[in-house]
Amino acid sequence: MGYLALIRGNRNVRRLWGGTLVSLFGDWFNTLALYRLALELTGSELALGGVLLTKLLPLALAAPVAAALVDRLDRKHVMIGADLLRAVIVLGFLFVREPGDLWLLYTLAFCQIAVSAAFGPAKSAALPNITARGELLTANALLSASWSVMLALGAAAGGPAVDLFGTDAVFIFDAVTYLVSAAFIAGMTIPQERAEASGGSVLAQAWRQSADGIRYLRENARVLRPALAKATWTLGGGGLMLCLALIGDRLFPSAGTTGIGLLFAARGLGTGIGPILARALFRDTRRWFAVLGACIAISGAGYLAVGSLSWEPGTSALLLLATVVFAHAASGANWVLSTTILQMRTEDRFRGRVFTADWLILALVESASTLAASVALEMGVPLRTAVLAFASIQVAAGLTWLLVMVPAERDGSG
């Protein structure tokens, strides 16, 4: 099914897509504002890395509770509740004024992403419930491409917005986008097979159901393998995202947040192109596992080129932006294909827990990669050396996938 036909013909997908567009646009404004605050308050690479970590670790820590919510509660209500809570949380950033308030910035960012730990899996788990046969891959490609387009537009517009209007205006704008998203989702109807409630406290139930999701992955290798695809990219990708923000700050030193926004916009453009190309070129699902590994390695090769190019303004800057687009086209294809495989192979009553485990694995690996890059840069490792090192890790991860995962998939183990 084509994208326009899906949007016109499926009301639930249309509303989910609309809400996602609005909230993602605000999120990227918010992200750039937080980067600017951290750099202005401290000037430290480790402090910037701390912002990235507080946008990752909550996914891991909140995953068990999210697993229970997504499979036991109405997924529409979970998403609406998450949007309303996040609208309140981001307004708290208005009180971050001086270096001594850095703890508040980290705490609020932590809470914002902890709530998002329920929204993301609920959206992924609900998508097969609201799509008909032949619509799922198109819907995944649409949402993934939309994430990328909003990253490109939000980053490109968010950088100048932070520089022109200040961080406070950006945080207020982000809060409003969450309210608009909640209004879109309120009009959806999501059929769902819910997991049965078990005894004990909510936290005990959450941990138990999360353990069920992990056990389900352990016992079903055909489901576990695609759940590892995003995390495999992130082995090098976490550190590279920190480096990308710092390259933007150095590539356009007089442009303020706009420089970071341009590089992240290039990232968004690439991740938008990737899913569209993947959907058009790789319709045979038997080839997808090889494509996943190749995409990871190609993305790393793109960043090896980034680390080898000049970071001076001018023509070299345009070439650098094009290289970032290329690297993230591969990562975007990896994301949408692995997500679609996971959705197709997971039973509905386990889908929320499986996607929560998917986010958990991704968050833990990305946090470790980001922390390693932050510490290395703070200790004096040159930025260019860090880029080349983490890009090499990514290439090695992709080649390992091709050597290990592809034969296992071909043999049909699990």
Report which listed range, 120-129, 231-240, 269-278, 283-292, is most confident.
Answer: 231-240
φ/ψ bin of 312: left (φ > 0), alpha (ψ from -120 to 50), beta (otherwise): beta
pLDDT band for position 247 (cuts 50, 70, 90): confident
Please report the pLDDT score of residue 101 as a whole number.
86
Please report the pLDDT score of residue 196 as a whole number.
58
pLDDT band for position 1 (cuts 50, 70, 90): low
Name 315's Cβ contacts closer than 8 Å, sequence gap at least 6.
none
| Buried b or exposed e, range 188-215, using 16+ CB within 10 angstroms | bebebeebeeeeeeeeebbbebbebbbe
Please report the pLDDT score of residue 201 as a whole number.
61
Q: How far apart are CA 380 and CA 148, in angstroms?
A: 32
Please report the pLDDT score of residue 206 as a whole number.
65
Name 383's Cβ contacts closer than 8 Å, sequence gap at least 6.
243, 246, 247, 250, 377
pLDDT band for position 169 (cuts 50, 70, 90): very high
Check the CA dihedral 335-340-346-350 and report its sign: positive
Mean pLDDT value across residues 339-361: 80
Please report the pLDDT score of residue 229 as a whole number.
92
Residue 179 has pLDDT above 90, yes or no: yes
Q: What is the CATH number of the domain that holds 395?
A: 1.20.1250.20
Q: How far apart are CA 224 and CA 338, in angstroms?
A: 11
Report the candidate in 269, 315, 285, 294 with the shortest Cα–Cα distance to residue 410: 285
Please report the pLDDT score of residue 83 as a whole number.
93
pLDDT band for position 254 (cuts 50, 70, 90): low
Give how far Cα 377 sits from Cα of 264, 297, 339, 373, Å: 20, 24, 33, 6
Instruction: Write down the mean pLDDT value for the chain.
Output: 84
Burial class (CB within 10 angstroms; exposed 0-12, middle 13-18, buried 19+) of 43: exposed
Q: Is the model more confident about 182 or about 212?
A: 182
pLDDT band for position 141 (cuts 50, 70, 90): confident
Please report the pLDDT score of residue 308 as a whole number.
92
What SS3 state is found at 193? coil
Q: How far apart are CA 149 and CA 359, in angstroms?
A: 21
Mean pLDDT value across residues 149-155: 80
Residue 339 has pLDDT above 80, yes or no: yes
pLDDT band for position 202 (cuts 50, 70, 90): low
Q: How far apart are CA 73 and CA 157, in angstroms?
A: 36
Mean pLDDT value across residues 271-297: 85
The single-letter DSSP state of residue 10 is -
Strand segments (E) across 184-261: none
Question: How many distinct structural domains can be found in the chain?
Answer: 1
Which tokens go with 223? 């489901």
Report which listed range, 94-108, 189-203, 217-231, 387-401, is most confident.
Answer: 387-401
Q: Is the model more confident about 89 or about 98?
A: 89
Report the candidate in 118, 182, 184 with the shortest Cα–Cα distance to residue 359: 118
Please report the pLDDT score of residue 81 as a whole number.
92
Of 182-191, 279-288, 368-377, the least confident: 279-288
Which residues span the domain enclosing 309? 3-411
Please report the pLDDT score of residue 313 as a whole number.
64
Report the candidate in 226, 238, 353 with the shortest Cα–Cα distance to residue 292: 226
Please report the pLDDT score of residue 381 as a whole number.
94
Largest Cα–Cα separation, the chain:
63
pLDDT band for position 413 (cuts 50, 70, 90): low
Count the helices and strands in the chain (H runs, E runs).
16, 0
Please report the pLDDT score of residue 15 as a whole number.
92
Is the separation of the CB atoms in 261 and 158 below 8 Å? yes
Rounded to 5°, the CA angle 374-149-283 comes to 100
Give how far Cα 41 sits from Cα of 36, 45, 80, 89, 283, Å: 8, 12, 33, 21, 49
Angle of helix 288-308 relative to helix 229-251, nearest 10 degrees?
20
Q: Is the model more confident about 156 or about 187?
A: 187
Residue 304 has pLDDT above 70, yes or no: yes
Q: How far apart are CA 387 and CA 376, in angstroms?
A: 11
Q: Percent of the chain having pLDDT more than 70? A: 91
pLDDT band for position 256 (cuts 50, 70, 90): low
Please report the pLDDT score of residue 178 as a whole number.
94
Is the separation of the CB atoms in 198 and 321 below 8 Å? no
Residue 300 has pLDDT above 90, yes or no: yes
